[in-house]
A and B are shown apart, each in its own frame.
Chain A
Amino acid sequence: MFETILKSVFSAGTFNQMLRSATPVALAALGGAMTEHAGIMNIGMDGMILMGAFFGVLGSYLFGSAAAGIAMVLLMGVIVGLFFALFVVKFRSDEFIIGTALNTFALGLTSFLSRSIFGTAGTKGNPALPTVHIPGLDAIPFLGTVLNDNSLFIYLTWLLVLAAWLFVYKTPYGFWLRASGEKPETLRTAGISPEKMKWLASILCGLLCGLAGAHLSLGQLQGTFAEDMANSRGYIAFACVIFSKANPAVAYAAALMFGFFDAIGLRLQDYISSDLTNTIPYIITIVMMVYVVVRSQRRKRHSSKRLPEMQT
């Protein structure tokens, strides 16, 4: 029996499932990495994803094409990002309050509109994003099955991870973004507005979370919208951001790990309740957080170099 379990856990199906579960989380986490670098604790990603999921389907439903859905998502992503920044950056409201409220607002708005437009059952079967077949990839035995014939955004995510990583660590704008979170006055005295970088981060986050939602509704579920379909993915993405210290590449790896546990939960359903396996990623997140904090504290203690005095 043990062998069958192992076989089903480490099958191509598991890893494919892992990739699929990880992608929406990873996209949102990329967005979260932007706001995190800008020094904003963004709890509101769940709401941003939900908005993306809804408006993607709405666009697809109204205009009969997934591309129109994506266009709508991008527009809404910018609007949501601007909205978030308006409160958090301009009015200096508490980030947690705005994030929580944004989640509830998104739930209320999408459910209200969904019921007003589609009725209580939600909608499905709208024009969806294509899957991509890469010819020749199937020739590779295991990887081929895992990597081929996935929804478009799974591949797009790889590009976006690379782009986000380059943006954050290899362009001047990335330096400004990080400076705006780490020490905003530095940027201000250099003649660059840290607020502008925070606005930019919020907009990018809105966009990426919107794409995460669009992938959920238009990609993964082929044109379906159900109420509260973000299903706490925003929080998992947030955990990935925290774990990765907002490094896009590490955040993607963290998302893959979440996806892996999600996938083996489904595989092991017959042996152990999926309600229990579902808790594993969250438990891991808490353990990771404790680990990250403890490690950084220990590193600080052992550093023998002379550091500047704390300035508050």
Chain B
Amino acid sequence: MAPLEHYLILSAALFTLGVVGVVVRRNAIVVFLCIELMLNGANLAFVAYGSFLDSLDGQLIVFFVMAVAAAEAAIGLAIVVLIYRNRESTDVDDVNLLKL
């Protein structure tokens, strides 16, 4: 079995890819995908620790995260659809009503 570090490095890489995507990309759907990437990076770290420590706690938390991610996907995509209807664009930089 591969050592724990490998899992953790992969997890960190996924998470970092997600972060960079959220910050850099403009398309709301891509930003959304990147958030999923971050969540799954974190999930990988949880299950890796769970497996190495012989504990079910890690898997338990992953189930929670997946449930939340599913709910978030439903609401998030609905918001994206509405933004597109209103603004004819999915560019997050166009959603700036809070600005004066």
Same complex for A and B? Answer no
Could you tell me which B residues sit within 8 Å of A by CB distance?
A: none
Could you tell me which A residues sit within 8 Å of B by CB distance?
A: none
